[in-house]
Amino acid sequence: MNAIETEDLHIYYGKNHVIKGVNLEIPEKSVFAIMGPSGCGKSTLLRSLNRLLELNEDAKIKGDIRLFGKSVFDMDPIIVRREIGMVFQHPNPFPHMSIFDNVALGLKLNKLVKSKNELKKIVKWALEKSALWDEVKDKLHEPASALSGGQMQRLCIARAIALKPKVLLMDEPTANLDPVSARKIEELIFELKKDLTIVIVTHSPAQAARVSDYVAFLYLGKLIEVGKTEDIFENPKEELTEKYLTGRMG
Amino acid sequence: MVRMDKFKTFLAPFCGLVFGLFILMLIVYLTASLPIFEREGLAIYTTNVWKASENPQKEFYGVLAAIYGSIYTSVLAVLIALPLSISFAVFVIDYAPKRLKEPLMVATDIMAGLPTIIYGIWGAFVLVPILKEYVMMPLYEHFSFIPLFSFRPVTGYSYLSAGVLLGIMVTPFASAIIREAYRSIPYIYREGVYALGATRYEATKILLGYIKPAIVAGILLAFGRAIGETVAVSLVIGNVFNINPSLFAPGYTISSLIANQFGNAYIYKYMVPALFAAGLSLFIIGLIVNLAGLMYLRRFKYAR
Ligand SMILES: Nc1ncnc2c1ncn2[C@@H]1O[C@H](COP(=O)(O)OP(=O)(O)O)[C@@H](O)[C@H]1O
Ligand SMILES: [Mg+2]
């Protein structure tokens, strides 16, 4: 089954048409990469999937987006965002909250836990899942701002998966990290896809090749090509894709 | 490097000047109030008496009622201004239509800059009668068994009137600080909250947590302005040496006391020192409040 489908999706910022008729089918429990040069609309497309784009009053969406067959526009946006977690390009744990509270926040907001014990259990589980537990277990109540960039990003992953979402969106999650931290996040993606569907945006074809099962190439708001990762990389059908993959495009 | 240092030597005297003036002022206050301390000791702060007399032997001053009134009305003002200024800041940034934002901000900035006598007259002729008729009388009639409401509001001039008026006056200041902090919260944190499935109300609560230092700064500024405000308060507080728990009782504040007594103080031997000592207590209260705020903010440290 497809975790997410988009149908003739158009997105505008005011009069600026940035996503132009995109049709996607993202299979369940896979890693789906969206790659393309900077400014082609990757972040915009990704934010439309969990209806986060609607925070921006100028953004207008046309077409349909379905989560496991159901239109997200027929759902409460709060439920959509609970079921579709998101990790951002800049690690953004809340600096005024402790590490523990950052992970617990979504659970509390959505009233998903009944007792303190249950909360502790899920926080621990999420931190273990995001390979951060061993590094922070002795300082759970220190401010999240004391962590390194890579740790912060894993904290954001823990914060997102604590809600046990069905889908996890990642917008260039390693763009602001050093290579070692970036590697750790990529390894994490392999682990996480056993339980959920991951949609990752990247401007690096190499990263798409390393982490994804499927890849879509977006260019100037249009979907140029989409398919199994090895097919696209070994045998691109479109000239634009080939140019992009061989680095002959700006 | 060299140019930097030149600039530094240029700036240093100004910094010294500001500090020097401050220290000098403190010294003036201390020496000018010395006679009253020599005569009464700390009784100037711990008693409620105001005995002016041609005969210095009979003079005795104790400004406890004014200190009490200053703190009472300023705390009231902060309690009123805080919810008002936070709501206003959030409304302007998150809810007001784009076209209304700028005019609303300009309007509050103008409100902040108005001469305070304007608030004073409005307070005395409009606010006090309204408060007396629609707030104090009903509360007194039905709840006078509660100490806060136990004083029969005869004139309407009271701690409550002063507190409400001050609350309104300091709101634009507190609100400007909170608004600017709220506006400059990085967008990534807004997105972060909403991505976790927060409602608008929940998101606002969390983002306000992020700007807690600015809110504390807003409280400090509001308190400082409230306790220093003079003319407007003296028009609505009643100006009587009174220490009463009731909101509806008239009282005095230090700044209104100084302003009211200043004119005839020179006739008496000890009244000028008494007024300086009263001013010194404002210094001390301001210092304590600001230090408490700073200590709180220091505890609240986080990177960036
Ligand atoms: N908040 C916004 N308001 C208006 N235009 C925007 C906004 N965000 C992005 N855009 C425009 O939309 C296009 C796509 O941007 P984006 O989705 O951020 O691309 P990418 O993530 O691929 O770099 C760009 O031309 C950008 O200028
Ligand atoms: Mg982007």
Across B153-174, average pLDDT:
96
What was the pLDDT predicted at A86? 98
Number of independent structural domains in chain A: 1
Residues with C-beta less than 6 Å from any ligand 1 atom: A 13, 16, 18, 36, 38-44, 56, 58
Q: Give residue B3's pLDDT band: very low, low, confident or very high (50, 70, 90).
A: low
ipTM field: 0.94
How far apart (Å, rounded) are the C-alpha atoms in residues B57 and B158? 33
Q: Chain A: nearest CA to B203, how far in angstroms? A: 9
What was the pLDDT predicted at B12? 85
Q: Chain A: nearest CA to B197, how far in angstroms? A: 5
Q: Is residue A154 part of a domain?
A: no
Answer whether B32's CB lies under 8 Å from B258's CB.
Answer: no
Answer whether B120's CB lies under 8 Å from B168's CB.
Answer: no
Fold of B64-303: MetI-like fold (1.10.3720)
Q: Is residue A185 part of a domain?
A: yes
Q: Is residue A120 part of a domain?
A: no
Contact B191 A109 (CB under 8 A): no
| A216 HSE (CA, 13 A, CB side) | 24
CATH of the domain at A55: 3.40.50.300
Q: Is residue A108 part of a domain?
A: no
Give me the residues of chain A with pLDDT under 70, please. Answer: 250
Q: Is residue A144 part of a domain?
A: no
- Tell me the domain boundaries of chain B: 64-303
Contact B202 A82 (CB under 8 A): no
Residues of A in contact with B198 (CB under 8 A): 78, 109
A63: containing domain: 2-95+165-245
What was the pLDDT predicted at A155? 97
What was the pLDDT predicted at B52? 92
pTM: 0.88
As given in the structure block, the two tokens for residue A113 are 């836990």
Residues of A in contact with B193 (CB under 8 A): 94
φ/ψ of B91, rounded to 5, equals -60, -45
As given in the structure block, the two tokens for residue A133 are 């537990």
Residues of B in contact with A160 (CB under 8 A): 195-196
Q: What is the DSSP string of B255-303?
A: HHHHHHHGGGGGGSSSHHHHHHHHHHHHHHHHHHHHHHHHHHHHHT---
Across B175-199, average pLDDT:
96
Q: Chain A: nearest CA to B192, how far in angstroms? A: 7
Smallest Cβ–Cβ distance between B197 and the set A78, A92, A95 belongs to A78
Nearest-atom number in ligand 1 for the CA of A203 is: 22
CB burial of residue A42 (10 Å; 0-12, 13-18, 19+): buried
Residue A221 CA: which ligand is closest?
A: 1
Which residues neighbour B34 within 8 Å (Cβ) at sequence distance 6 or greater? B273
CB burial of residue B55 (10 Å; 0-12, 13-18, 19+): exposed
Q: Is residue A130 part of a domain?
A: no
CB burial of residue A26 (10 Å; 0-12, 13-18, 19+): buried
